[in-house]
Amino acid sequence: MPECLDQAHHILEKTMSLRPDPFFKPVQDAGPASGWAKSPYELIKGNRGPKGWQLFLGTSVVIFWGFSRLGAGNKKRTEQKLWERQEKYTLVSLLQNEADREYLMREQKLHAQEAKIMSEVPGWEVGKSPYYSLTRWTPSHIMDSNKSNQKK
């Protein structure tokens, strides 16, 4: 081992093995006794923004405006739905009339077909249900099994 490293090692061993002096007072940097001079920038305070009550008032106004817009939109949507419903109600009679006409046309075709098929059966009444009962009335079910008779 070189001699210079040996000396450094010896110095380190010496200083590390000693305890520091308990009465040692370190010297610290401190400001002047009269205090530091006032900074010109310290006196000028910037704008910190709106006050709390201003924020509260502004937020309340925005929320109130939003709820009023929501209520107006709901009212408008309700009126629109009512108007559409009234239009549908006016069309119901026309649509029902069309459905009744189609029903009668199908029923006439089926009665004609039934009369042709059952012409040889004695006592057969065309259009009368074989399940006819005096105690209970049921509507006839018009289902055209022949695809050529259905409206396209």
Where are the alpha helices (H) located in 30-51, listed in sequence order?
40-43
Q: Where are the alpha helices (DSSP H) in 3-146?
A: 3-17, 40-43, 52-117
**Cα-Cα-Cα-Cα dihedral sign, residues 137, 143, 145, 151:** positive
Amino acid at 146: N
- Which residues fall within 8 angstroms of residue 103, CB to CB, at 6 or more apart? 142
Q: Residue 61: its pLDDT value, please?
A: 98
Q: How far apart are CA 121 and CA 114, in angstroms?
A: 11
| 102 assigned to some structural domain | yes
Instruction: Tell whether 107 is covered by a domain.
Output: yes
Query: Alpha-carbon distance 39 to 62, whole Å?
Result: 41
Please state the pTM of the whole predicted model.
Answer: 0.41
Output the pLDDT for position 14: 58
Q: How far apart are CA 134 and CA 147, in angstroms?
A: 33
Containing domain of residue 114, as a range? Answer: 68-118
Query: What is the total count of domains within the chain?
Result: 1
DSSP assignment letter at 147? G
- Token output for 116: 């042709």
Higher pLDDT, 21 or 89: 89
Does residue 26 form part of some domain? Answer: no
Is 112 a residue whose pLDDT tops 80? yes
Residue 94 lies in a domain: yes
Tell me if 110 is assigned to some domain.
Answer: yes
**What is the pLDDT at residue 64?**
98
When mean pLDDT is compared across 17-26, 62-71, 82-91, 119-128, the lowest value belongs to: 17-26
pLDDT computed for residue 51 by the predictor = 93
Whole-angstrom Cα distance, residue 79 to residue 130?
51
How confident is the model over 27-67, as pLDDT tens digits? 888 888 888 888 777 666 777 889 999 999 999 999 999 99
